[in-house]
Amino acid sequence: MSRFRKEPDPRFWRLNRSIEFDWRLAPYDIDQSQAHAGALREIGVLDEDELERIRDGLDRVRERIGTHGFEFEEADEDIHMAIERLLGEEIGPLAGKLHTGRSRNDQVATDVAMVVQAHSLRAIELAGATMRRLLELAERHRDWPMPGYTHLQRAQPVYLGHHLLAYFWMLARDVLRFQFALDSASVMPLGSGALAGVNWEIDRGAVADDLGFEHVSANSIDGASNRDFVLDYLSAAAICAMHLSRLGSEIVIWSSSEFGFCELDESFSSGSSIMPQKKNPDSAELLRAKGPRVAADFLALLGTMHALPLTYGKDMQEDKEPLFDAIDTIEPCLEATEGMLAGIAFDRERLEAASGDEMLAATEIADGLVRRGVPFREAHGIVGGLVRDAVEAGKPLSELSVEEMRQRSEQLGEWVFDVLRRESWLESKRIEGGTGSEALAAQIGRAGETLAAVEARVAEERT
């Protein structure tokens, strides 16, 4: 840099240098440079021969960087300067013309926006594959009873298909969030310059079309300083990782000997270094553990951007490591979830036995009292007392006599024994979104339509 007489202190250089992580921007930076070179040709900064030489040189730089064993030089501060150096090695001083009409501020913002677009779409694609697997499992297990839980205590029976679809809808919301991140990143910052715009009348719309952006930034200050699209991606990834952690946690619990509701395929399990009998659900445990990591990535960048004056500060170099870490975490988690679900096996007998606990019918009995004119709060107390009577007597509700029940309420009678038949507990939930068979069938149909829309959007973006 001509402004300075001294070389950077090595201690500062180590702190300042970002090539160790921003090398991943290389393909995006080269694509952007190809489009920018075309725009410079349109306004006469480059002639046709110069454009061809620059584009050929960039192709050779791309090939060099992609070669196995390629190493950057110690003097390469970041990927932008490294590519400029490599281009100079390929085509000489002409490489210096390429930086006309842009700053590293809008250059890096554009590269990062391109990363967010690409990986938001990838996350949508992977979430869609996991949604498809969940829907297939739900359809196969639509009539398998199991206990639903609150506070990890048996609460009310549901169908396994209904329970699995809860995760389908979580992922459907994740898709919407990743789609928002994709749309947020579809505004091109290039042309914002360092902060005030540039002195060259570049056709930003044409460059945006070349690079696949939907819009260009309306304000140069905002364009250079905006990292909301990264935060949008990190937020979506953090929430998605949280959802996967809940699924992982349930699979860990369900696959334990105490529950025995399911078993993971051996290819997604691990053994013990000392206990030969062990088959551990490590894949599910890792899903459970990864969520806080991605949440920390989101908070790291949120903290970096907090109270940061406009427009650019070197602080914003810290946007890339959290982004890359989140990408490298959420994508394998989604891939592993789909694979894990592909080989999971549920135990119908264990699920049915657990769902047959008569205590799960307590709400049904309370509702029966309401239908006989008892206010719900009073009915709740009556049935709570009835449950206590059964527990203290050491017998199920169905073994209480009518006389014993009527000590709690004259409204209790023979009809209670009909309610205690398990099938009525499930099929009484006919309301839209409930676990009853008809409602579940409608939900499966709606899930299929939602999945088709997700897959169609991915196909559209890929073309």
Which residues are known catalytic residues? Answer: 151, 272
Helices (DSSP H) in 75-103: which residue ranges?
Answer: 79-91
The DSSP output letter for 396 is -
Q: Checking DSSP bridges between strand 262-263 and strand 153-159, what pairing results, if any? A: unpaired
Residue 407, classed as helix, strand or coil, is coil
C-alpha neighbours within 13 Å on the C-beta side of residue 149: 10
3-class state of residue 442 by DSSP: helix
Residue 370's identity, in one-letter code, is V
Task: Give the integer Cα–Cα distance in Å for 21 and 18.
Answer: 6
For the chain, the 3-state helix, strand and coil shares in percent, each to the nearest 5, are 70, 5, 25
Q: Crossing angle, helix 26-42 and helix 204-211, to 10 degrees?
A: 140
* C-alpha triplet 339, 340, 341: angle, nearest 5°: 90
4: region left, alpha or beta (phi > 0 left; psi from -120 to 50 alpha):
beta
> In terms of DSSP H, where are the helices of 92-227?
104-140, 160-184, 204-211, 220-225
Q: How many residues does the chain have?
A: 463
* Identity at 160, one-letter amino acid code: L
- 87, 95 contact by CB (below 8 A): yes
* 3 state SS of 201: coil
Give the DSSP per-residue string, 417-430: HHHTSHHHHHHT--
Contact 75, 83 (CB under 8 A): no
Alpha-carbon gap, residue 145 to 361, rounded angstroms:
13
Token couple for 43: 């306004």
Q: β-strands 215-216, 187-188: how paired?
A: parallel
Nearest-angstrom CA–CA distance, 70 and 64: 7
Q: Which amino acid is at 170?
A: M
d(CA 117, CA 340): 27
CA angle 162, 355, 392 (to 5 degrees): 140
Q: Cα separation of 329 and 221, whole Å?
A: 32
